[in-house]
Amino acid sequence: MPDSEENGRPGGRAVSGEEVEGAPRRPPLDPEIEARREAAFRLLRSFGDPVLRSKAGEVTRFDESLREEVARMDRLMGDALGLGLAANQVGVLHRLFVYRAGPDAPLVAVVNPEIEWSSQDEEIAEEGCLSLPRVAVDVERPVHVRVSARDERGAPITIEASGLEARVIQHEIDHLDGVLILDRTTRDQRKEALRILRGGEEHVHDAVGAGGDADA
């Protein structure tokens, strides 16, 4: 899920470059950061890749190779300026995702997650996805969740999250089940998003979305 200011779109819609012309722009990224970001995107699976529609399998071995996988995903997520990243997005069908609750927050690796509880209170917010560049759509999700899982060493963990953190967690678990934000938005927004993804248009990447947007 991308950082909000890297893939956000105004008005909760999937939009093309023409529609945001004249909108406020974020300052240009440092060239080195931009180069790392572009390199990271080339390593991520994008819309149309069958792995994004595949359900990931349970992790059974908590060994050094798994911890190396977590470290690699952390680097890619950071270079892509993302909030979260699921294993499907790097072409690995493991029930594993990584995320950071904030820019200075520690990395959290979540293996074999299960949502134990989610609140009846739900909220609509704009989401983007590192695997669906140039697109952001409205998605309704529970505001609070409790998730049981294991960490990268196999130790049981429980995560109680609210707000943006809860949204990122639910977004990444969707990835592990082969579900995309296109499946959770309105018909009109899905139609427009598909037009953008399939149209081969030239789109800008630097429109600043509304506060609270999230991409992973």
Q: Bin 91: left if φ > 0, else alpha if -120 < ψ < 50, else beta.
A: left
Give the 3-state secondary structure of 134-152. CCEEEEEEECEEEEEEECC
What sign has the CA pseudo-torsion 156, 74, 69, 89? positive
Task: Spot the catalytic one: 126, 152, 165, 172.
Answer: 172
Which residue type does 94 have?
A: H
Residue 127 catalytic? no
Active site amino acids: 172
